[in-house]
Amino acid sequence: MVEAVGAGVTLKTVPDTQALAQAAADLICAAVRANPDLSILVATGNTPMPTYTELAQRVQHGEIDFSRVTAVQLDEYLGLTDDDPRSLWSWMQRSFVAPLGITRTVRLHTPEEFDREVAALGGIDLALLGLGPNGHLGFNEPPSPPDAPTRTVTLTPESLESNRVYWDGLPVPTGAVTAGMNLILSARQTLLLVSGAHKRAILRRTLEGPQTPDLPASLLRGTALTVLADEAAWA
């Protein structure tokens, strides 16, 4: 089902996580077909993983070619070595870059270098984002105004808690670096993936509550935003 929710925003609901992966992969593949040199800002987290698996299968079957796409890292913890299992860079490599045959990447080390590299690409064509339980985008924690730059941040207790499930008992680093709200909001197209009943309240507020730095995802309204949600997240 497709609903328009105000300026620029399209909300599409699908029955379950598998249908979400299919619908998201359809949109991403259409964008890559329209522009094989697409630059994609790539979220990690649990929500997009079935989508990345679906994309990898389409690549394997020769249905789509990502070899000219540039994958841009969205966020990273601070203070980890390259071989640390919690590195978000390695998670992006495992789940997106390698299985899709992508050779062009922008890694998020230092904000200045990252912003320079993204500017040299001509900006972000497609931002693939998940929705934080506290409304964060990347690690733009509340409050993050629309002009918040790429920067280092301290994670909120909510993000530390929600990230714990990824790392099987290892502590979640408390510092991070994130692509700025300014960069995320300047993407030519944004796809926000939302799955599960635990996201229902924050998704309502994101789409229907006040647009405020206290809920960074609400600032996506007014950009070219497509929200794909399963029925658990948008009943």
Our CB check for ligand PGA shows the closer of 33 and 164 to be 164
Cβ(110)–Cβ(30) below 8 Å = no
Contacts of 72 (CB under 8 A, 6+ apart): 39, 40, 41, 42, 105, 106, 108, 118, 121, 124, 179
In angstroms, the CA 169 to CA 186 distance is: 36
Cβ(179)–Cβ(149) below 8 Å = no
**Known active-site residue 134:** yes
Is the bond leading into 173 cis (omega within 30 degrees of zero)? no
Report, in Å, the least distance between residue 123 CB and ligand PGA: 21
Nearest to 191 by CA among 25, 14, 17, 3: 25
In angstroms, the CA 26 to CA 146 distance is: 29
Residues in contact with ligand PGA by CB under 6 A are: 45-47, 130-132, 136, 162
Contacts of 219 (CB under 8 A, 6+ apart): 146, 181, 185, 211, 212, 213
Which residue out of 54, 76, 125, 141 is catalytically annotated? Answer: 141
**Known active-site residue 141:** yes
Report, in Å, the least distance between residue 111 CB and ligand PGA: 19
Report, in Å, the least distance between residue 85 CB and ligand PGA: 16
Which residue out of 76, 125, 136, 163 is catalytically annotated? Answer: 136
Report, in Å, the least distance between residue 229 CB and ligand PGA: 12
In angstroms, the CA 92 to CA 130 distance is: 14
Residue 174 CA to chain centroid, in angstroms?
Answer: 20
**Known active-site residue 117:** no
Which residue out of 54, 76, 125, 134 is catalytically annotated? Answer: 134
Our CB check for ligand PGA shows the closer of 46 and 57 to be 46
Among all residues, whose Cβ is closest to ligand PGA?
45
**Known active-site residue 136:** yes
Report, in Å, the least distance between residue 71 CB and ligand PGA: 17
Nearest to 75 by CA among 99, 104, 52, 44: 44
Our CB check for ligand PGA shows the closer of 44 and 223 to be 44
Our CB check for ligand PGA shows the closer of 45 and 180 to be 45
Our CB check for ligand PGA shows the closer of 125 and 141 to be 141
**Active site members:** 75, 134, 136, 141
